[in-house]
Structure 1
Amino acid sequence: MISENLVKQITFIKEIDKIKYIQRRTKLFNSDRRENDAEHSWHLAMIAIVLSEHSNDDIDLLKVIKMVLIHDIVEIDAGDTFIYDQTKNHENTTEEKKCAERIFGMLPEKQAEEYLQIWMEFEDGISNEAKFAKSMDRLEPLLQNASNNGGTWKEFGVKYETVYGKQKTIKKGSTTLWGYAKDLIEDSVDKGILEK
């Protein structure tokens, strides 16, 4: 006999397949194809594993991986908000929390509570794990835009000050990676792919 928990877990697994259809504005490295949320989340998990030694603080890497894998699941309902959107707040957690409660609520109660808590911890950005996870979330599109000769910076007229302001979150999770990011931003200005 199939347990109720397994039925709920399979239902959730089917539901989150929808994340593959959520298109982001950023494009794959050296490509004209937009990345989807599933690709983004997978890439962040790999980046976190590879770069974990550069965290400012000791971290629970498994927790970071969970954070980056589930942080955008809410976009199944809420849609993707472009990090440089000037009309919609990227930190719209009230709307997104309702989405998180619906989607994670499909799981058995204990798992639902764990995933919602991890999602909220990421959004709050206070714990060592959340700071590092958010650093990964900001680093990836920076690397993508630099690889695409300005990518969405050029496409949407995003200027240096905005990029710098959004990217400085990296420093909270890793001063080493922030140093790299700052150099990349300045190099992008020098190359003319980011307007000052």
Structure 2
Amino acid sequence: MLLCGRLGFCPAPSTCLSSTFIARVLIHKRHRSFYSPGRQFRAAPSPTASPAHPKPRTALPSSRLTGSPRITDQTRLSREIANMTMSASETGTAGNGVAANTVTDVGIVETPKVSDPWTVDKALDTIATGKPVEGSASPVPYFHILERLKTTKREGWKRFGIDRGESISDHMYRMSLMTMLCPPKLAERLDMWKCMKMCLIHDMAELLVGDITPVDGVAKPEKSRREAETMDYITKRLLGNVNDGDVGKGIREVWQEYEDSKTLESHFVHDVDKMELLLQMVEYEKRGQGKMDLGEFAYVKTKIVLPEVQSWAEEVIQEREAFWQGHSHVRGDVGVNGGVPAEKKKLPDGYYWLSQP
């Protein structure tokens, strides 16, 4: 952070973090730092040189001191800056006068809220960075819109208070790495390169459509229409003139193969999709130290088709059972008998796995 060179010369002293910071340092109680215009912060005289007897500090608990570095003036300075940034965010302004949410939430993208009927162009109109250039021979506009996969969160976890969980690209990236560990006998029957591409492509439409879940009230056919329209936009309007449009056509074909779910590769990737969700479910539960029960998501285990992936899923479920041992919890992997309400079970039965064999 750059500080103002001198006090009183800030163009926006009421909102400038630099001016606020300097003012706080000047009035900081006891022997803290003082500001010299145009120079660095200098240490104030030592307590022994002061005629007054400073109030002794309260000692930190030994548990906080053990193995911890001494709190230095630089550490205090960093904490002050951090506190100021948080304070500015709470009041709605940042150091540059820009609305706080553009600073604190710049790395999070919300799904575009548009009026019915949903169209790609309506969704594009909501993008803060502007519409990508269409018809270009350069792939750069496509590269830019892919960023939305990194910043759009997976929605299912939000119902459980996980607002800043995994992004869409987080999910797809781990899936692609998981395919590399496909059991050899199954891998011999698969086009592994296609499987990895399918993992990285299968949720690409969500960069505009968002991660629509069964509780969102969007029918499966409507969800499919939005996603197909988005993939046409990406592969034709953005990539149609890039490398003669061949890459765009290839992406569209792989995405459609996944949606149709008729090939062994698509079955495998569908299973890996569910397997990745199971992993994330257990990881969130463990990180939450058992304070949240995500067991209803375990129902996806019952929809895994290939024995090789079923084996992986069973291992994760056993890991989860060991974690919850002795405590009541939902077991979605056994359906309504495990505590999943019947009405919730019906939603995924007719939604996510409509095309699954």
TM-score bracket, shorter-length normalisation: 0.7 to 0.9
| Residue 127 to residue 151, structure 1, CA distance change in 2 (3 Å) | farther
Aligned length: 181
Alpha-carbon displacement from aligned partner over 1:5-60 (angstroms, at most 9, x marks no partner): 751x2221122122111101467xxxx65001111111111011123536387111
Q: Pick the aligned partner of 1:12 from 132, 142, 151.
A: 142
CA distance in 2, matches of 1:63, 1:151: 34
CA distance in 2, matches of 1:89, 1:167: 23
Q: Pick the aligned partner of 1:47 from 165, 178, 186.
A: 178
Identity within the alignment, % = 19
Name the structure with the higher helix share.
Answer: 1
**1:19–1:73: 8 Å Cα contact kept in structure 2?**
yes
What is the TM-score with the length of structure 1 in the denominator? 0.76
Q: Secondary structure at the match of 1:20?
A: helix
Query: What residue in structure 2 maps to residue 130 of structure 1?
Result: 266
**2:275–2:312: 8 Å Cα contact kept in structure 1?**
no
Which is bigger in relative contact order (C-alpha 8 A, separation at least 6)? Answer: 1
| Residue 54 to residue 88, structure 1, CA distance change in 2 (3 Å) | farther
| Residue 26 to residue 181, structure 1, CA distance change in 2 (3 Å) | same
CA distance in 1, matches of 2:198, 2:184: 17
CA distance in 1, matches of 2:183, 2:141: 32
**1:19–1:76: 8 Å Cα contact kept in structure 2?**
yes
CA distance in 2, matches of 1:62, 1:85: 34
What is the TM-score with the length of structure 2 in the denominator? 0.44
Query: What residue in structure 1 maps to residue 239 of structure 2?
Result: 107
Bigger drift between 84-93 and 114-123 goes to 84-93
Does the alignment pair 1:68 with 2:199?
Answer: yes
Q: Secondary structure at the match of 2:270?
A: helix
| Residue 44 to residue 183, structure 1, CA distance change in 2 (3 Å) | closer
Q: CA deviation at 1:86?
A: 7.1
CA distance in 2, matches of 1:111, 1:155: 43
Higher radius of gyration, 1 or 2: 2
